[in-house]
Amino acid sequence: MTQELPLVGGIEAGGTKFVCAIGYGPGRILARERFPTDASGRPRSTVEACLDWFAREQARLGQRIAAVGIGSFGPVDLTTATIAATPKPGWAGFPLGKAFADALGVPMGFDTDVNAAALGEHRWGAGQGLGTVVYLTIGTGVGGGAVIDGRILHGAVHPEMGHFLIPPAGTDGFAGNCPFHGPCWEGLCSGPALAKRWGMPADQLPANHPAWAIAAEEIARGLYALRCVLSPQRIILGGSVPKGGQLGGPGFFALINAALERIDRGYLAPIPGLVVPPALGDDAGALGCFVLAQDALQAP
């Protein structure tokens, strides 16, 4: 199937690294490389490093990409493919989409990193064949994207699922670490929030540490809100935190699912396998960018 797809480029533009890839689809990523996201006020230097790599790899492969897809850290202005307000020096207002599209000279698709991953999982992964899926990443931050009845959800800007407010669990009175909201979902559940709360990185927390049950409860409270609002057929949890550190992913997902059931109190019909890890694993973002690129070729 993937043989018939056009060769495309993908750029996962993250806050700490840009991951560039060239390929067709699942199992057919021909080249991939990562570059640090510039933090010294010179965003163009990151773009140039990526462009050099695309030039080298296209020469090595003897083929040119037909389009490029960019899944960007946010917030972004989707109408202009520009980075919006960000504390990252030099990046606010940077026209990321145009910088790549002009230099590569191919059609370009642009969305948030999490919308791209949602799209990738919807097309080829855990959301395949389903109309409405949510993709969440819980790592450095918490971010989410949604495909609703087959279409990516944008709305006025784009969803910022990490920042809604949930009732905190636990009795430690943790004040959260979101600079805007304190104990919002991200302020409670992100990797840095867990590290601040428990005094060690999440991946070092012992399997029997109470942190896991509290994190599962707080993640489930947010997921339940998403379930009530968007009615997803599947919720895909990516990022480093759902890997569960020393507890392990299966154990952590079991805690999350049990918490969801407890919160629901039998109100909604259970959906077996509602909350799952990404079927595309760590490739969800890159493959989502491929989908953005391939869809850009279909655009009128």
Burial class of residue 203, CB neighbours in 10 A (0-12, 13-18, 19+): middle
Residue 184 contacts Zn ion per CB under 5 A:
yes
**Selected range binding Zn ion among 62-70, 174-182, 235-243, 290-298, rule: CB under 5 A:** 174-182
Residues numbered 150-169 forming contacts with Zn ion, rule: CB under 5 A = 163
Look at strands 76-77 and 234-238 and give their pairing. unpaired
Q: Shortest gap between Cβ of 26 and Zn ion (angstroms)?
A: 33
Q: What distance in Å separates the CA atoms of residue 187 and residue 85, rounded to the nearest whole number? A: 19
Residue 178 contacts Zn ion per CB under 5 A:
yes
Residue 98 contacts Zn ion per CB under 5 A:
no
Q: Shortest gap between Cβ of 212 and Zn ion (angstroms)?
A: 22
Q: What distance in Å separates the CA atoms of residue 42 and residue 8, rounded to the nearest whole number? A: 27
Q: Pick the closer one to Zn ion by CB: 184 or 241.
A: 184
Q: Pick the closer one to Zn ion by CB: 184 or 214.
A: 184
Q: What is the DSSP letter of 21?
A: E
Residues numbered 8-37 forming contacts with Zn ion, rule: CB under 5 A = none
Triad 234, 235, 236: Cα angle to 5°: 115
Phi, psi of 34 (to 5 degrees): -120, 150
Check: CB of residue 285 under 8 Å from CB of residue 116: yes
Q: Shortest gap between Cβ of 46 and Zn ion (angstroms)?
A: 26
Q: Pick the closer one to Zn ion by CB: 88 or 181.
A: 181
Strands, E assignment, 3-149: 8-13, 17-25, 28-36, 68-72, 76-77, 82-83, 108-112, 133-138, 142-148
Q: Pick the closer one to Zn ion by CB: 180 or 267.
A: 180
Q: Pick the closer one to Zn ion by CB: 127 or 176.
A: 176
Residues numbered 225-244 forming contacts with Zn ion, rule: CB under 5 A = none
- Site residues, Zn ion (CB under 5 A): 163, 178, 180-181, 184
